[in-house]
Each structure stands twice: as structure tokens, then as C-alpha cells.
Amino acid sequence: MKKYLLTSLVLASAIPLTMGGTITQPETWPQWRGPTRDGVFQGPEWPASLGEKRLKQTWRKELSPGYSSPIVAEDRVFTVETKDRKHEIVRAFDQATGEQIWEAQWEGAMSVPFFAKANGSWARCTPAYSDGKLYVGGMRDVLVCLDAATGRRLWLVDFAERNKTPVPSFGFVSSPLVHGDSVYVQAGAAFVRLDKATGKTIWRSLSDGGGMNGSAFSSPVFAEIGGMPQLIVQTRLELTGVAPATGKPLWRQPVKAFRGMNILTPVVHEDGFFTSTYGGRTSLFKANTGGEGGDLTLAWDNKLQGYMSTPVVIDGHAYLHLRNTRFACVDLASGEVTWTTTDRFGKYMSMVVQGDKILALDQKGELFLFRANPAKFEKLDERKLTDNETWAHLAVVGHELFVRELNAIAAYEWR
């Protein structure tokens, strides 16, 4: 086995309740799309302006390229990057000052297929933090567990070596999910459950043999539908519900996409699942809640095509960034497209929700504040943050906002 030197990350397993029963959110952003993995922020209310007097940059650090989103825990900000097309590096910064606390690195870079090279071959998946540990995916199908305090490596899984599978064509893209005592990842040409303390494989499901079809993009989410806990997994070819205890597929639904580009994270809404694909359609599938097995029912679909950006849901409406770079609102009850913008945005847009506001960062470095209004598109403000591309998801903690530029990380504070 190759020798690796590495780093750490964490994930929230529960959101505590206040004495009054209101959900409160800890001041962490420990995984892909935040504490509840749905892009919802429940901290201090955002102002209606993005101007420098209200949103001020507090620190910025130059980095090597990366698409991996920053995460925040233990008063630290963790990032992943690819240096000199050879090494992957994890860094921990002091949340308040931006001073680097530690770094870890390993040889693990790779080159993606020619038709995707324009967007680079950098580290992609967002790590997860849980119980003082970081779980970091490396492009060559490696998952590393690090001590978040020191960056010391605790264990490493090389999926290609362990499962005798090819390295995925686009690298390790799907962001790991920590739930209970396990880590769930799309890696090793399958969907895998690992013991989070040791990295031991508990089960392996949805195996597809690897190669191009093994290059899974979408990140899994945990849900309980009809009283049945399940992992919602979108592979390159289908949407699937998996039993956490056994890895057994509970249901499988083919999802059409150009070259298997099922990229966005499926959104759980009531007893259904919302998804949208490049080269396919936007769909809502209803689950069979009567027990194990049974196919999904197509509630509706429409001709909209999403791409890489995972939508947010507010009051029964999905707000979706499209393949054509426009922005749209979809009524989840009927599938009606209530509006689509004439404005175009960047190729990617990460979104965070607070109440009826959507904070959105597009690939061109533009930050937007939208009103979630199903009747019409309503832009409250916008601001150019950087000339760098910004492919990573926003991280929002308390009064702070962390932006991973292609070649830097910057911290902002609401004033």
C-alpha cells in the first residue's frame, strides 16, 4: 500500500432542543450542506444587504486549487486542496484569525477525462466531522480519518486496493455521510458502510463493477419514510433507498441522465424524493410507505434540467439552478414551474436557506441574496466577492460566512 500522510473532519449527529422546544443549531458547519445536510441555517438573522458595511471580509488565505467545500467545527475551518497535480493537502485554520494550525498531505492526485478537464482535476468531495475526527475523501478513491485537533492519521481505506476495483474516472466525488457509529460513502464502485472508529467495511451494496459507471457523484442522505429508516442514494444510473442495517436495497428507480451525470443530492420531501438531471428531467417520486420493497411512483416530472447544484426547499417549493444557468421555482405538489429567470448565472450555485431568504454563491464569484417567493423571482442584493471561480459550497456559522475560492479561502462577518 502507498504511504499517506493525512488530516481530519466531523459531522453533527443531532440538533439539540432549547427549553422551549425550538430547534437550535450548533455553531458548526460539519459536513456537506451543513448540520442537517439540507442547506438550512438557523442562526442569527441575515440583513437584507450584502454591502461591505454589512458583510466584511475578516481574513483570506491563498491555497492550491480545490472544489471541496470548507467545513467548520471546534473553532477551526478545514479545507482540502490539490497541489502541483500530485499531492492532496488538508489544512486546519483558526476560525477567528485564519492562522494555520496544522496540515497533512498525501500523494493522490489524478487526471479526469478529457471532456471534463476544462474544470480541473482538483479535490472534489466535502469532508465530514464527527466526535473529534475528520473523514476526508481523496481523489484516488481513498478515505482518511484524521484527528481534528492535530491532523494525525487514525486510519486510511484505499477502496481500489481493498475491493480490487478501478479508480473512478472522476475521482472520489460523493461527500461522506456520518450517521451513528458509521460512515457511508459512494466509493469502490459501490455504496459502502464503514465502522467510523476503524474504517472496517460493514457492508457493501449497489456494486456496479467500477469504471465510468463507478464514478458516483451524488452524496447520500439519511431519511425516515413511513417509519422506515433508509439511506437515499443516487448512483450514476438510479435513485435507491438502502436499509442502514443490512445494505439491502429497499427500492430502486432508474434516473436518466446524460453520461450518467446524476450529480445533485436528492432532496427528501414528505414521503417523496426530488431530483433533476443533466440530459434528463426534473422529477418527484413518491415512496411506497407500506413496508419493504415496491417501486416508487412517479408523482410528476417536467422538462427542466438541473445539473450540479442541489436545490433548496422552502414551504413546498424547490428553488433550482438549471443546466442552462437560469434559476427556477417548482411547486413540489404539482410539478408546476411557477417561474424561470431570464437572468443567467454561473455554471454552479451553492445555496443556504434562512427563513424566506436564500444566500447563493455562483461559480463566477457572485454572492446573491434572494427572497424565496413562489410567485416571482425576487433578488434582494448581489455582490462580487472574487474574480476566482467558486465551485465549493458555502459554509455559514453564527455571524460568519466562509467562501472557498478556487485558489483561496476567505472569511466574512455579518455586521
User: For 46-97, how does the pLDDT look when each residue is reduced to its tens digit (9 = 90+)?
Assistant: 999 999 999 999 999 999 999 999 999 999 999 999 998 889 999 999 999 9
Alpha-carbon Rg of the chain, whole angstroms?
20
Q: Of 75-89, 95-109, 290-304, 336-350, which range is least confident?
A: 290-304
- Residue 350 confidence (pLDDT) above 80: yes
Q: Of 22-36, 187-201, 315-329, 346-360, which range is least confident?
A: 22-36
Question: Cell numbers at residue 260, please?
Answer: 450518467
- Residue 5 confidence (pLDDT) above 50: no
Q: What is the pLDDT of residue 295?
A: 73
Q: What is the pLDDT of residue 1?
A: 41
Strand partners, 183: 178, 194
Write the CA distances from 4 to 135, 169, 301, 353, integer angstroms. Answer: 14, 21, 46, 38
Q: What is the pLDDT of residue 110?
A: 78
Question: pLDDT digit string (tens) for 214-273?
Answer: 678 999 999 998 888 999 999 999 999 999 999 999 999 999 999 888 999 999 999 899
- Residue 377 confidence (pLDDT) above 90: yes
- Residue 24 confidence (pLDDT) above 80: no
Give the Cα separation of 382 and 237 in Å (integer).
37
Rounded mean pLDDT, 190-195: 97
* Residue from 396, 403, 321, 413 nearest 36 by CA: 396
134 or 292, greater pLDDT: 134
Total residue length of the chain: 415
Give the Cα separation of 219 and 261 in Å (integer).
13
pTM of full prediction above 0.85: yes
The distance of Cα 73 from the centroid of its chain, to the nearest Å, equals 16
* Residue from 47, 41, 7, 48 nearest 27 by CA: 41
Q: How confident is the model at residue 294 (pLDDT cuts 50, 70, 90)?
A: low
Q: Please tell me which of 5-9, 14-18, 32-36, 211-215 the model is most confident about, judged by mean pLDDT.
A: 32-36
- Residue 187 confidence (pLDDT) above 80: yes
Rounded mean pLDDT of the chain? 90
Q: What is the pLDDT of residue 211?
A: 58
Q: What is the pLDDT of residue 70?
A: 98
Q: How confident is the model at residue 293 (pLDDT cuts 50, 70, 90)?
A: low
* Beta carbons of 317 and 302 less than 8 angstroms apart: no
Question: pLDDT digit string (tens) for 151-165?
Answer: 999 999 999 999 999
Q: How many CB atoms neighbour CB 75 within 10 A?
A: 12
Query: At a CB cut-off of 8 Å and minimum separation 6, what does 410 contact?
Result: 57, 59, 60, 61, 385, 386, 402, 403
Q: How many CB atoms neighbour CB 335 within 10 A?
A: 18
| Ramachandran angles phi, psi of 219, nearest 5° | -95, 140
- Residue 20 confidence (pLDDT) above 90: no
Strands 249-254 and 238-242: antiparallel
Q: Of 18-32, 181-195, 209-223, 309-323, which range is least confident?
A: 18-32
- Residue 134 confidence (pLDDT) above 70: yes
- Residue 348 confidence (pLDDT) above 60: yes
Q: What is the 3-state secondary structure (H, E, C) of the chain?
A: CCCCCCCCCECCCCCCECCCCCECCCCCECCCCCCCCCCECCCCCCCCCCCCCCEEEEEEEECCCCCCCCEEECCEEEEEEEECCCEEEEEEEECCCCCEEEEEEEECCCCCCHHHHHHCCCCCCCCEEECCEEEEEECCCEEEEEECCCCCEEEEEEHHHHHCCCCCCCCCCCCCEEECCEEEEEECCEEEEEECCCCCEEEEECCCCCHHHHCCCCCCEEEEECCEEEEEEECCCEEEEECCCCCCEEEEEECCCHHHCCCCCCEEECCEEEEECCCCCEEEEECCCCCCCCCCEEEEEECCCECCCCCEEECCEEEEEECCCCEEEEECCCCCEEEECCCCCCCCEEEEEECCEEEEEECCCEEEEEECCCCCCEEEEEEECCCCCCCCCCEEECCEEEEEECCEEEEEEEC
Write the CA distances from 84 to 88, 122, 407, integer angstroms. Answer: 9, 10, 12
Q: How confident is the model at residue 109 (pLDDT cuts 50, 70, 90)?
A: confident
Rounded mean pLDDT, 24-47: 89
Give the Cα separation of 153 and 147 in Å (integer).
6
